[in-house]
Amino acid sequence: MSFSYKRTANYYETDQMGVVHHSNHIRYFEEARIAFMNSIGCNVREMEDNGIIIPNVDAYARYLSPIRFGDEIEVIVRLTKFNGAVMEYSYEILRKDGETAATGHTLHCFVDRDFKPMALKKKHPQYYERTKPQVEKTE
């Protein structure tokens, strides 16, 4: 299953060349991931309030074509791995013209407030059960 998140590139996100600065692509990934999680009933604020911290342990982006101020973009999010201890997402950023601007992935784990690893299935099965069915099946 993929999830679509849409937004418009802001002026303050651009660099001197008039192109969205590369660091913002990772932010776009995060915005899309949070929207996806909220859509499946895993509100990140609520999870944090319940002692579930979801650090990003790896992030990668490949830049294929520029995004400029005012460009409407769509971030396609796919949950590609989830076992209750770690989860991995893949992303594709598309411009309105359909061209792929960037691709990437992020890897996350679950820890408690003391940053000790957490098994989501054991500690918070409700979130595990909402997330597990969302993993995109790959052949």
Active-site option among 15, 71, 97, 112: 15
Task: State how far Cα 78 lies from the chain centre.
Answer: 8
* Known active-site residue 114: no
Question: Residue 36: what residue type?
Answer: F
Instruction: Give CA–CA dist 18/89, Å, rounded.
Output: 29
Q: Would strands 56-63 and 2-8 be described as parallel, antiparallel, or unpaired?
A: unpaired
* Catalytic residue numbers, as ranges: 15
